[in-house]
Structure 1
Amino acid sequence: MLTKKQKDLLEFIHKRLQKDGVPPSFDEMKDALDLRSKSGIHRLITALEERGFIRRLAHRARAIEIVKLPDGMAAPGFEPKVIEGGAAEPTPAAPTASAAAAQELAVMGKIAAGVPIEAISHAHNHVAVPGQMLKSGGQHYALEVEGDSMINAGINNGDIVILRETATADNGDIVVALIEEEEATLKTYRRVGSSIALEAANPAYETRVFDDDKVRVQGRLVGLIRNY
């Protein structure tokens, strides 16, 4: 799922590419979405790129390629391009022999290791989670990872991450962080003075820094289930 603004921007870029063969400028995107600054467009573009909907081409101005479109948006004749090295669509984790000692957790959507917080309110399947992952107590939920921005932390595309609901985090924790009440992302949390740095575990992605009142922690990583 995408936030409304992410979907609106993707649709705007797609229509311009279909019409003119070139993507719109950041100023045109800002005006089309009625945003006050281009920084908001940058965050939306980054989220769409992390989730695999678009790809920015290096060393070319205004070079944005649409890789895929969400269900219901694809126009007739649209054929999604495949990113080299992309993984196949993962399947839900199957219960293991120890499922009797496991708990069923709802998989509340996908997170691009950016996911819209709206996706974390509608379960689309369940996964059996070993009880030892949940020994910290509290409420837990699961998300399916889409993307490679946390790959050097051992979190791969298609993994199921298990999170304990919490509004606080320590430096170095991997968290689901809600940015400006609009975009949620799985990143390493670090507080630097009055700012929050959200670090990817992949050098291809920049660390993003926000004022602390722009970020709310939604959950802390406590475990991971890998699909093969």
Structure 2
Amino acid sequence: MLTRKQHELIRFIQTRLEESGVSPSFEEMKEALDLKSKSGVHRLISALEERGFIRRLPNRARALEVLKQPEDISAGKTAVRAAANSNTALTALKPALAAPREPANDVIELPLHGRIAAGVPIEALEGQATLPVPAALLGPGEHYALEVSGDSMIEAGILDGDFALIRRTNTARDGEIVVALVRGEEATLKYLRHEKGMVWLDPANSAYEPQIYRDSEVEVQGKLAGLLRRYH
């Protein structure tokens, strides 16, 4: 049985993960729960971790994963952790937003369109390889996968060598992480933002500057639905 504050915290963490794919900071959690200090947040997180509701992802700042939710708020949402094969450990960094239509042990071969820059734009999407992905990790719609190259999205938990699972779409809202095709030839993974009549592709790394283009120069080709990470 969870306390009211524990319920509030796990609901807040889950909402932030669904919206941005990034865990809230301790300061944000403190303010959201109207706590007097961050030590109260630490105690709540430790209690939820001990009871198996969340876990902290090692070697990453602001990295929490919701493993399960209290029964009264878990309907229609599923946190999936699965492996595509015995040699690949896969971590779902962004939970599925709806209950999967297919059994969790089913595997789908997604088109793997080469590497995409999380730094400066590189080659456009291409390639004929595939990536096995647990079906339960994907929501509705058509998906494809890209291997991430670079470090400009590390503060969003997206690391070099990760596999980005992309839901194919040509529209996205400001603040969403998208695959942007720049000038018809270079693809990059960035936060989307519109300002002063221009398209801004924002990194999640303070060492990088935003990339700014005219609207006609940028085509959205999908938005981030999840990430897979291979541990060797």
Q: Smaller-chain TM-score range?
A: 0.5 to 0.7
The TM-score normalised by the length of structure 2 is 0.53
Is the Cα contact below 8 Å between 2:190 and 2:201 reproduced in 1?
Answer: yes
Matching residue's letter, 2:182: I
Give unpaired runs (5+ residues) of structure 2: 1-81, 87-102
Q: 1:144 is paired with a residue of what secondary structure?
A: strand
Q: 1:185 is paired with a residue of what secondary structure?
A: strand
Q: How far does residue 100 in structure 1 lie from its aligned partner after superposition?
A: 3.6
Q: What are the residue-to-residue correspondences of 1:10-159 with 2, within 5 Å?
A: 95-96=84-85, 100-113=105-118, 114-117=121-124, 120-124=125-129, 126-135=130-139, 137-159=140-162
Cα distance between partner residues in 1 of 2:157 and 2:170: 24
Aligned residues: 132
Q: How far does residue 177 in structure 1 lie from its aligned partner after superposition?
A: 0.4
Q: How far does residue 164 in structure 1 lie from its aligned partner after superposition?
A: 0.8
Is the Cα contact below 8 Å between 2:156 and 2:204 reproduced in 1?
Answer: yes
Q: What are the residue-to-residue correspondences of 1:205-220 with 2, within 5 Å?
A: 205-220=208-223
Matching residue's letter, 2:161: G
Q: 2:206 is paired with a residue of what secondary structure?
A: coil
Q: 2:159 is paired with a residue of what secondary structure?
A: coil
Q: How far does residue 148 in structure 1 lie from its aligned partner after superposition?
A: 0.5
Aligned position for 2:225: 222
Q: 1:219 is paired with a residue of what secondary structure?
A: strand
Is the Cα contact below 8 Å between 1:111 and 1:143 reproduced in 2?
Answer: yes
Report the identity percentage: 47
Cα distance between partner residues in 2 of 1:167 and 1:108: 17
Matching residue's letter, 2:190: K
What is the alpha-carbon root mean square deviation over aligned residues?
2.1
1:58-97 deviations in whole A, cap 9, x for unaligned? Answer: xxxxxxxxxxxxxxxxxxxxxxxxxxxxxxxxxxx97247
Q: What are the residue-to-residue correspondences of 1:135-214 with 2, within 5 Å?
A: 135=139, 137-214=140-217
- Runs of 4+ in structure 1 deviating by more than 6 angstroms, as ranges, are none
Aligned position for 1:38: none
Give unpaired runs (5+ residues) of structure 1: 1-92
Q: How far does residue 182 in structure 1 lie from its aligned partner after superposition?
A: 2.1
Is the Cα contact below 8 Å between 1:94 and 1:128 reproduced in 2?
Answer: no
Is the Cα contact below 8 Å between 2:83 and 2:134 reproduced in 1?
Answer: no
1:8-62 deviations in whole A, cap 9, x for unaligned? Answer: xxxxxxxxxxxxxxxxxxxxxxxxxxxxxxxxxxxxxxxxxxxxxxxxxxxxxxx
